[in-house]
Copies of this chain bind each other. A is one copy, B any other.
C-alpha cells in the first residue's frame, strides 16, 4: 500500500511536469477540460513525432526486404497506407464491431451516472464514501469480516457529513432500518460465517432484497446500479445533410480495417508478394465510459498497426517472430526489461481460430505494484478479417468459422463479395492469407517512454550544495531536443561562438536549442528536466585559447572537452550509435 502510494505520488509529479514543461495538456482546459481528450504541447509534439518516426523507420522505411532478419522465417516486404477515419458503415458490420464492439455498462438508478461493469468495484474502493465507511466501520476489501458492527454502520449512515453527504443514494442511508434488517436476517441464518466486504456492500445497497436480490452500489452516490448492458464504443455521426439511419457513420475504433479493405488495392498496385506487411499510423476513437489514468485510456488516441499477410502454414512462425520483435522494439528505445512483460493469452482467452495472442505490458506508476498495463497486442488472426470482408460477418460454430445468419436464414451482415484471396504465382496456389497483427498505441508508448524517463536524484549546484534534480532520461532518438548550446556567460564573444555552433547543428538536421538565460547550473537542470541528452558549453577557453568546448552527458554527467568543429560529427555519431 505504501509502495502504491509512492507510485501514485510519482505519477502526480509526472502529470505536473508534463503540463509545466509543455508535454501534455488537458484538452480544452480553459473551458474546464474534456474527459478522455488530451493535447500535446511544444515538447510533447516533438516527442510523439519521434515515437511515430522511430516506429515507421524501424518497421517500414529501414526494413531490408532482400534478406530474412534475425529470427524471421523468411525475407519479407513492408509497406504502408493511410486510410480515412470515417469508413463505409458496412465495414464495421462485416468486421463484427457493429454488433460486438461494446463494453458492459451499468447505470445508477439514483444519480443516472454510467459505469463500466468491470471497473465498478475498483471505483467503489477509490470512492470517497467507501473510504469514509471503511474508516468509521472497519471495512476493507480483500478481507473476510467475521463481525459486522451494525451500530457503527447505522451511525455512519445517519451522520450528516458521512453517509448522508457522501452516499445519498445508498440504501442504508436512504432507509437504514429496513436495509440493515436484511443484513441482520442473513447474519442470523448463517451465524459464524464471515462476510466479504463486497457482500456487505451489496447488502448495504439493497432495500428490498426479496424483490430485487442483492444490488451493486454506485461508485458515485451509493445508489443501486442496473444490470450490465451492452454499450457500443464506436462514436456515431452522419455523413451528408440528413440525419437518418441511412447515412449513419462511425469513427473508426481501430486503424486495422482500413488495411484489410485495401488488401487487394495494395497487392494490385505495389508489386508486393506474400509474405508482406502493411503499416498504418492514425487516430482512432473509442467512446470509453470511464476514461482515466492520464492518456492511458482516452477517447481519442493514435494507433500504430501492422497487418502482416502470410501463408497459413507459416503463420505460427510469423506470429512468434512479430511477438519477439515488437517486444525488443520497446527495450531498444530504453524501456527497462523489469518493467516490461510479454504476456501470452491462455488458450481459453483465445479466439478459436487464433494460434496465439500476446500483450506487451508496461508497469505504469498509476498501477498497483506488480500490475501492468497494455502497450501493444500481437494477435494471430487467421483468415478471419479477409474472409469477413469477402463473405460477411463470421462467427465460430463447431470449431469452424461460418457466416452468421439472421432469423430468416440470410447473412446477418454481408461482406463486399469481392475476392480477397491471393494467388502465389510461383507455387501456383490460391489461398486466403493469414494475418499477424502487431497493434501498438502511440499515446500509450509515448506515456510509457515518459514514465520510464522520469527520474529524480541529487546533484551539487553551482555553490556545491546538494539540490534535487529531475531528469527525463529519454532515449536520444526520442528526446525532443538532442543538444543544448550554452554560452557560459552572455559576453566576451561567447554568445557569437555559441550561435555559430547552434546554426551548424540545425543545418545538420539536429534538434538543438540555444539558451543564454541564467546561471549555467540552472540551465543544465532546465535541459535535464526536458530530457536533452547533451549540453555543449562555450567558455573562455573556447574563445581565448583553443576553440574547444565541453560536452556534458545528461545521465553520466561526464563532461568531455573537444574541438568545437567536431561537435556536429560527435553528436551525429552518438545519435546513430544509440
Residues A209-240 near B (CB distance < 8 A)? 231, 235-240
Tell me, yes or no, whether A241 is within 8 Å of chain B by CB. yes
B236 touches A39 (CB 8 A): no
Residues of B within 8 A of A36 (CB): 239
Tell me, yes or no, whether A38 is within 8 Å of chain B by CB. yes
A42 touches B91 (CB 8 A): no
B389 touches A84 (CB 8 A): no
Q: Which residue of B lies closest to A103 (CB)?
A: B241
Tell me, yes or no, whether A438 is within 8 Å of chain B by CB. no
Q: Mark A416-430, 1 if CB is under 8 A from B, else 0.
A: 101010000000000
A61 touches B511 (CB 8 A): yes
Tell me, yes or no, whether A125 is within 8 Å of chain B by CB. no
Tell me, yes or no, whether A571 is within 8 Å of chain B by CB. no
List the number of copies, as a whole number. Answer: 2
Tell me, yes or no, whether A5 is within 8 Å of chain B by CB. no
Residues of B within 8 A of A29 (CB): 261-262, 265
Question: A142 to chain B: closest CB distance in Å?
Answer: 30
B88 touches A34 (CB 8 A): yes
Complex CA gap A231/B240 in Å reads: 10
Given known A-B contacts A236-B237, A237-B251, A261-B31, A40 and B114 have beta carbons under 8 A apart: no
Tell me, yes or no, whether A41 is within 8 Å of chain B by CB. yes
Q: How many residues of A contact B (CB 8 A)?
A: 87
Complex CA gap A241/B262 in Å reads: 31
* CB contact between A82 and one of B31, B45, B272, B289 (< 8 Å): that residue: B45
Residues of B within 8 A of A287 (CB): 238-241
Question: A449 to chain B: closest CB distance in Å?
Answer: 16
Residues A248-301 near B (CB distance < 8 A)? 251, 258, 261-262, 264-266, 269-270, 272, 278, 280, 283, 285, 287, 289, 299-300
A264 touches B30 (CB 8 A): yes
* CB contact between A30 and one of B28, B285, B389 (< 8 Å): that residue: B389
Q: Mark A161-181, 1 if CB is under 8 A from B, else 0.
A: 000000000000000000000
* CB contact between A28 and one of B81, B243, B261, B506 (< 8 Å): that residue: B261
**Stretch of A19-27, A127-135, A402-410 at the chain-chain interface:** A19-27
Q: Which residue of B lies closest to A46 (CB)?
A: B80
Interface core residue of A48, A241, A506, A511 (most chain B CB under 10 Å): A241
B66 touches A262 (CB 8 A): no
Residues of B within 8 A of A46 (CB): 80
Residues of B within 8 A of A28 (CB): 87-88, 90-91, 261
Q: Which residue of B lies closest to A419 (CB)?
A: B30
Tell me, yes or no, whether A44 is within 8 Å of chain B by CB. yes
Tell me, yes or no, whether A62 is within 8 Å of chain B by CB. yes
Tell me, yes or no, whether A97 is within 8 Å of chain B by CB. no
Tell me, yes or no, whether A455 is within 8 Å of chain B by CB. no
A82 touches B39 (CB 8 A): yes
Tell me, yes or no, whether A79 is within 8 Å of chain B by CB. yes
Residues of B within 8 A of A79 (CB): 42
Complex CA gap A19/B269 in Å reads: 7
Question: A113 to chain B: closest CB distance in Å?
Answer: 10
Residues A71-107 near B (CB distance < 8 A)? 79-88, 90-91, 105, 107
B82 touches A44 (CB 8 A): yes
Residues of B within 8 A of A90 (CB): 28, 31
Question: A285 to chain B: closest CB distance in Å?
Answer: 8
* CB contact between A236 and one of B22, B85, B238, B258 (< 8 Å): that residue: B238
Residues of B within 8 A of A389 (CB): 30
Q: Mark A44-78, 1 if CB is under 8 A from B, else 0.
A: 11101100000010000110111000000000000
Tell me, yes or no, whether A109 is within 8 Å of chain B by CB. no
Complex CA gap A240/B236 in Å reads: 11
Known: A32-B88, A39-B83. 16 other contacts (CB 8 A): A28-B261, A31-B261, A36-B239, A40-B81, A41-B269, A42-B80, A42-B266, A61-B509, A66-B502, A86-B285, A86-B300, A114-B242, A237-B251, A238-B287, A240-B289, A251-B251
A-B contact pairs, 18 of them (CB 8 A): A19-B265, A22-B266, A25-B262, A28-B88, A33-B88, A34-B87, A38-B84, A39-B84, A41-B266, A42-B81, A42-B266, A42-B272, A48-B82, A49-B56, A62-B506, A66-B503, A86-B285, A235-B238
